[in-house]
Amino acid sequence: MPTYRVGRTFIVESGHLLSQHPERCRFPHGHTRTVEVVVSGDRLDSHGMLVDFKALKLALSGEIEKFDHAMAINSNDPLLPELRRLYPADATVVFDAEEPTTEVIARHLFERIGAILAGGFAEDLYVIPAGSVKLERLRVSETPSTWAEVSE
């Protein structure tokens, strides 16, 4: 039985600060992050697709866009109270006692997107039946030459 794989790429402008980093990464800075999602399955639907690309976009955009123009920060970072005072709640993505490295962001998205796909998605004509595809891997690029990837 063949295995089919399809992917979708998302791009977000995202900031983070790594308060425990010994050099400049401890300061707030931003990246144009590319999030690449690869799903797999062994069955095509009645339209000859593993999953419709638009259905993937609709199902996953909300989770990925939480990072767009937001600052990822460790809950223990001393700047967090000031950021919360200055900016709306959706301007930060807070990681519980964990540095928001690219690896951690990739794992975070992998877990949430995996749960979305496992539970299924439906909006108008776009449906992803529960369990019909499996999240195979998720890659987050921090720069054009650096990335972190999470897979099963």
Contact between 150 and 107 under an 8 Å Cβ cutoff? The reply is yes
Domain that holds residue 146: 4-151
Q: What is the CATH number of the domain that holds 51?
A: 3.30.479.10
Mean pLDDT of all residues in 115-126: 96
What's the number of domains the chain is made of? Answer: 1
Q: Which two tokens stand for residue 97?
A: 């006692």
Amino acid at 51: V
Helices of type H across 13-151: 53-64, 80-86, 102-119
Q: Beta strand 134-143 with 146-151: parallel, antiparallel or unpaired?
A: antiparallel
Condensed to tens digits (0 to 9), the pLDDT of residues 33-64 reads 999 999 999 999 999 999 999 999 999 999 99
Q: Check whether 28 has a pLDDT greater than 90.
A: yes
**125 pLDDT band (50/70/90 cuts)?**
very high
d(CA 139, CA 125): 28
Amino acid at 136: E
Contact between 106 and 148 under an 8 Å Cβ cutoff? The reply is yes
**152 pLDDT band (50/70/90 cuts)?**
confident
d(CA 28, CA 31): 11
